[in-house]
């Protein structure tokens, strides 16, 4: 059987054979299907891209029905067990796991770019003490574009390379500065002797000791969380990165747009929203009332559901195991007791089962962050730090894709037809 779709336009009786490639048909194939005398062909309508591919990609693969997530073909479970975040970032950006020499060069090139211009501290000092750190992060990442004007040379490979180093390296520094600012504490500078997660902990928590010593278990837990959050194919913020990137600004400006998209509670802001939801529920005995509110459409069960996963999010499984481990050492908390009971009830309740609502990556991550001592408002920031590698991988892939051009969707216009201007005295 040929790989084609035969479409009959019943308005004209005409039949069209549309090629099927990679399990898809091109939307532009429908432009030829015209009926009216306006000469307009059919447009494919798909609000929120429920079933529309915006690109071809080789970075990340998700099988939502079977709970599979692959970075460049490697299962997320194996990377979480054996890899580090920086190695995973190399894999996402370059497409292959690094050799020893490549890994050493990559780590060196990122480590020597962890500092930010001293003027950036002035920007951060200008924010209120209670400014949300995601607002600070997206502002300062955007501001970085003014320190590297040459970054607009996005088709110069060397320029792209150093922009990628800088963004991956400086995200933790900006995030830690935002945190320290909120507490009125002095900024900690990077310690290049430490690992990527270890240095982040150093910039967050170092006080007056001469050298910060990260707790190895905490350092590893953070590294695994960074691996799990590094990329996730065409999610909302990656779509923002590609769409904004398609007009060819510098990558700092495109990344600021991606951070803004991630900030939303339906996306990367969900990990913060989960803990605030749990706090609102308060105790296990109040879960039934909350669930009733969800069914009545008054609430959303934050940390549950996913556009692609109609099975358990594989990342959530890893994070849940980590939460159990980390909290078995530090002792469970009332919040985690409520979370566990909430998950148990939701997984048995027909309302959630019928809608295939399972815990996603955001449901348990916050409990680990809290155990590490990271405040709730910083949770989306800890999502943005590792996702930078994914955003940049997708951004570069889009730039080098000969089929891509500036993103400019069509619309179905249902507004007023042409009408004449009405003078003020004749209105109303």
Q: Which residues bind ligand SDX (CB under 6 A)?
A: 232, 235, 266-268, 270, 294, 300-307, 355, 357, 360-362
CA–CA distance, 159 with 396 (Å, rounded to integer): 12
Picking from 361, 265, 267, 273, the residue whose alpha carbon sits closest to that of residue 320 is 361
Task: Please say which residue, 220 or 300, places its beta carbon nearer to ligand SDX.
Answer: 300
Q: How far apart are the two ends of the chain, measured CA to CA in Å?
A: 62
CA–CA distance, 422 with 189 (Å, rounded to integer): 63
CA–CA distance, 97 with 91 (Å, rounded to integer): 5
Q: How far is the CB of 272 from ligand SDX (least distance, A)?
A: 11
Q: How far is the CB of 224 from ligand SDX (least distance, A)?
A: 15
DSSP 58: S
Q: How far is the CB of 109 from ligand SDX (least distance, A)?
A: 26
Task: Please say which residue, 176 or 230, places its beta carbon nearer to ligand SDX.
Answer: 230
Which residues, in sequence order, are CB contacts of 107 under 8 Å at separation 6+? 86
Picking from 37, 32, 27, 39, the residue whose alpha carbon sits closest to that of residue 9 is 32
DSSP 207: -
Task: Please say which residue, 111 or 238, places its beta carbon nearer to ligand SDX.
Answer: 238
Q: What angle do CA 88, 89, 95 make, to 5 degrees?
A: 80
Task: Please say which residue, 138 or 357, places its beta carbon nearer to ligand SDX.
Answer: 357
Q: How far is the CB of 310 from ligand SDX (least distance, A)?
A: 10
Q: How far is the CB of 383 from ligand SDX (least distance, A)?
A: 8
Task: Please say which residue, 296 or 424, places its beta carbon nearer to ligand SDX.
Answer: 296
How far, in whole angstroms, is CA 337 from its chain's centroid? 27
Catalytic residues: 267, 306, 362
416: burial class by Cβ within 10 Å (0-12, 13-18, 19+)? exposed
Task: Please say which residue, 296 or 406, places its beta carbon nearer to ligand SDX.
Answer: 296
Q: How far is the CB of 25 from ligand SDX (least distance, A)?
A: 23
**Phi/psi at 64 (nearest 5 deg)?**
-65, -35
How far, in whole angstroms, is CA 132 from its chain's centroid? 18
Picking from 387, 386, 382, 363, the residue whose alpha carbon sits closest to that of residue 372 is 382
Q: Which residue is nearest to ligand SDX (CB)?
A: 305
């Amino acid at each position: 059987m040929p790989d084609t779709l035969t479409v009959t336009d019943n308005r004209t009786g005409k039949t069209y054979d549309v090629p099927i490639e990679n399990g898809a048909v091109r939307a532009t194939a429908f432009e030829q299907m015209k009926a009216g005398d306006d000469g307009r062909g059919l447009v494919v309508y798909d609000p929120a891209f429920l079933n529309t591919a915006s690109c071809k990609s080789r970075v990340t693969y998700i099988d939502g029905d079977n709970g599979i997530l692959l970075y460049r073909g490697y299962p997320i479970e194996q990377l979480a067990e054996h890899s580090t975040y920086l190695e995973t970032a190399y894999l996402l950006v370059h497409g292959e796991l690094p050799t020893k020499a490549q890994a050493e060069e990559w780590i060196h090139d990122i480590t020597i770019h962890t500092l930010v211009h001293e003027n950036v501290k002035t920007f951060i000092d200008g924010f209120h003490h209670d400014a949300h750190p995601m607002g600070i992060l997206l502002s300062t990442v955007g501001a970085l574009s003014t320190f590297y004007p040459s970054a607009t040379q996005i088709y110069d490979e060397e320029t792209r390379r150093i922009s990628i180093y800088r963004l991956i390296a400086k995200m933790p520094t900006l995030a830690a500065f935002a945190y320290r600012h909120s507490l009125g504490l002095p900024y900690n500078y990077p310690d290049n002797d430490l690992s990527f997660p270890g240095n982040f902990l150093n910039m967050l928590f170092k006080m007056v000791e001469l050298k910060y010593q990260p707790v190895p278990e905490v350092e590893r837990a953070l590294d695994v969380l960074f691996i799990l959050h590094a990329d996730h194919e065409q999610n909302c913020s990656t779509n923002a990165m590609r769409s904004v990137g398609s007009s060819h600004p510098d990558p700092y400006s495109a990344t600021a747009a991606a951070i803004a998209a991630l900030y939303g509670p339906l996306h990367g802001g969900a990990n913060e929203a989960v803990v605030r939801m749990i706090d609102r529920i308060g105790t296990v005995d109040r879960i039934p009332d909350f669930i009733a509110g969800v069914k009545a459409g008054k609430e959303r069960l934050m940390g549950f559901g996913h556009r692609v996963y109609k099975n358990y999010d594989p990342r959530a499984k890893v994070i849940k195991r980590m939460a159990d481990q980390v909290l078995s050492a530090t002792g469970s908390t009332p919040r985690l007791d409520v979370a566990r009971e909430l998950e148990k009830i939701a997984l048995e309740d027909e309302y959630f089962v019928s809608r295939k609502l399972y815990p996603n990556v955001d449901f348990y991550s916050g409990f680990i962050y809290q155990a590490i001592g990271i405040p709730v408002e910083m949770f989306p920031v800890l999502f943005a730090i590792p996702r930078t590698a994914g955003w940049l991988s997708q951004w570069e892939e889009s730039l080098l894709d000969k089929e891509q051009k500036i993103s400019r969707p069509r619309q179905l216009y249902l507004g007023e037809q042409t009408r004449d201007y009405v003078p003020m005295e004749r209105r109303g």
